[in-house]
Structure 1
Amino acid sequence: MKDQLHRHIVLDQTPKRIISLVPSQTELLVDLGLESSIVGITKFCVHPIHLKEEKVVVGGTKHVHFNKIKDLKPDIILCNKEENTKEMIQELEKIATVHISDIYTIEDTLELIELYGHLFLKKDAAIEIIKEISKKKFEFEDFIKDKPKRTAAYFIWKEPWMVAARHNFIDELLRLNGFENYYVQFSRYPEVVLDATLPENSELVLLSSEPFPFKGKHIQHIKPFFPNATILVVDGEMFSWYGSRLLKAFDYFKTLHQHQWSQNSLS
């Protein structure tokens, strides 16, 4: 079989010892019924929360302890092109087979779920998750179809200010919500320079709860740069975690739209 970079994955048998170096993929494994097969995770794999107490934490998404990983004798290591570095993956391939995901769209996510269902012999569970995500997406698209289009600036970091521009999964979900990305002229996750003497005119500013932990107090920090915008603190996991997190994301998006013009932040 192939991973999402179209690399051939060669395995003698179904992997029984899994290391996941991507938080959203760790959550997906659990929802596929593979929790007992997970032997190693990152410090950012917080869903479900008890995993960090029961599994070996091998590092973060950019830096890992290779000796810890080697000692776990994994059959497969799950990575992502964006979240894990090329150099790290090259070292991991010396330890075990590496499967790499590459996610930009909802369709990419559904493909990954199908791939995992095949790879780990969890086809029925994968089919059910795919069906449910597709159903919720269809219902949300019906909910959103008559909502007015708004420009939205999505911030992921402070000092320096950084945003989600085009060509990433966050941008896909912004568009799905009917938002036009204010920073669409840029790619990926650029730094932006804000100047209060030259105010920006995005109608909506979304401050993500991750990777920078934006909170309500930060609304006043960015207000001088977007004086006419509605500014919200939003759950970053709902906008950036793919996989089975989408089972919860669409309901969250409905809440966002129902309240975005009447309050300053969402928890």
Structure 2
Amino acid sequence: MKIYIDQIGNHHVFETTPKRIVSLVPSQTELLYDLGLEESIVGITKFCVHPFHFKSTKKIIGGTKKVHFEKIRLLQPDIIIANKEENIIEIVEELSKICPVWVTDIITIEDNLQMITDFGALFNKRTESQKWMDKINFARNDFNHFMKDKSIQKVAYFIWANPYMVAGGDTFINEMLKLNKFENIYDNNPKYEGRYPEVVVQKMRIQGDPDLVLLSSEPFPFTDEHAFELGRHTHHAKTVFVDGEIFSWYGSRIIKAFDYFKIMHQKIA
């Protein structure tokens, strides 16, 4: 019997290694796969698009905000993997009646590394998790070296239109912006509280006037028209379409972020 503590402080007791996993978070599904747990994953959300073949080989149990409890119960999971931001507490509490629900809480890269370590211990994949830790740390150090002479640029990172919404502070996206020496004009902005505030774009000039306006590829499909509209509310900002998965997915996908960021900086230079 072993006791484990998840990232929101819940204690979990397992007599044996959990063998049947339901994952409620796309990026964590990908991580579990990359740790060699494909055979153990029995249920995923409709948004779990990596790896691609899971859509036809795993049971779809709903989305991240609305799950099908009976489908999950019939899968007889040993553990359900959730996330504090992605899955509301009411869902977690209801699922806890089925089996233990492991909740992650990822804001920083260090939180992400802790999750990988936790999964390595929890699922007896310590060697695999250490390999991922080593690869991520090596790539991050290399990227920090790449960035050392780069100047700080002010940015606004948009995730939605109608109404316009941005990534604020206390988010993984904001941490990835910091990694790139991007100063988020909506980080700790007293006029726009919350992690993903709705903003008045006509006031961008007086509330930060960014050098770059970043338009995420998910969850909203921004167009050239959006780029033009947002750009005209700044003095000089360059509008850039960016890969939302790269900025918002934690887990093992972060290893792909560093090369992506290098190319992005070369394009915006």
Shared fold by TM > 0.5?
Answer: yes
Q: Which one of 83, 92, 96 corresponds to residue 95 of structure 2?
A: 92
1:125 and 2:128 matched: yes
Count, aligned residues: 261
What is the CA-CA distance between 1:207 and the residue it aligns to? Answer: 0.4
Unaligned runs of 5+ residues in structure 1 are 262-267
2:204–2:234 contact (8 Å) kept in structure 1: no
Question: Aligned partners of 1:115, 1:197: CA distance in 2, in Å?
Answer: 41
What is the CA-CA distance between 1:226 and the residue it aligns to? Answer: 2.5
Q: Who is 2:53 aligned against?
A: 50
Question: Aligned partners of 1:103, 1:22: CA distance in 2, in Å?
Answer: 12
- The code of the aligned residue for 2:126 comes to K
Question: Aligned partners of 2:247, 2:125: CA distance in 1, in Å?
Answer: 26
Residues 111 and 158 of structure 1: is their aligned pair in 2 closer, same or farther, counting only changes over 3 Å? same
- The code of the aligned residue for 1:207 comes to L
Q: Who is 1:264 aligned against?
A: none
Q: Who is 1:213 aligned against?
A: 221
Q: Which one of 131, 136, 139 corresponds to residue 139 of structure 2?
A: 136
1:15-58 superposed Cα distances (whole Å, 9 cap, x missing partner) = 11100000000000010000111000001100111111110110
Worse-superposed segment, 68-77 or 189-198: 189-198
Aligned Cα RMSD in Å? 1.4
What is the CA-CA distance between 1:79 and the residue it aligns to? Answer: 0.2
Q: Which one of 37, 41, 45 corresponds to residue 44 of structure 2?
A: 41
What is the CA-CA distance between 1:224 and the residue it aligns to? Answer: 2.1
Equivalences for residues 18-167 of structure 1 within 5 A: 18-167=21-170
- The code of the aligned residue for 2:198 comes to E
Structure 2 length-normalised TM: 0.94
SS in 1 for 2:202: coil
Identical counterparts, % of pairs: 54
What is the CA-CA distance between 1:78 and the residue it aligns to? Answer: 0.1
1:170–1:239 contact (8 Å) kept in structure 2: yes
1:191 and 2:175 matched: no
Equivalences for residues 217-236 of structure 1 within 5 A: 217-236=225-244
1:196–1:224 contact (8 Å) kept in structure 2: no
What is the CA-CA distance between 1:225 and the residue it aligns to? Answer: 1.7
1:120-163 superposed Cα distances (whole Å, 9 cap, x missing partner) = 00000000000000000000000001011100100000011000
- The code of the aligned residue for 1:223 comes to G
What is the CA-CA distance between 1:212 and the residue it aligns to? Answer: 1.0
What is the CA-CA distance between 1:102 and the residue it aligns to? Answer: 0.3
Question: Aligned partners of 1:88, 1:119: CA distance in 2, in Å?
Answer: 22
1:251 and 2:254 matched: no
1:144-203 superposed Cα distances (whole Å, 9 cap, x missing partner) = 010111001000000110000111111111001001111111431100012279676111
Unaligned runs of 5+ residues in structure 2 are none
SS in 2 for 1:132: helix
Residues 198 and 31 of structure 1: is their aligned pair in 2 closer, same or farther, counting only changes over 3 Å? closer
Structure 1 length-normalised TM: 0.95
- The code of the aligned residue for 1:222 comes to L
2:5–2:11 contact (8 Å) kept in structure 1: yes
- The code of the aligned residue for 2:231 comes to K
Question: Aligned partners of 2:203, 2:184: CA distance in 1, in Å?
Answer: 21
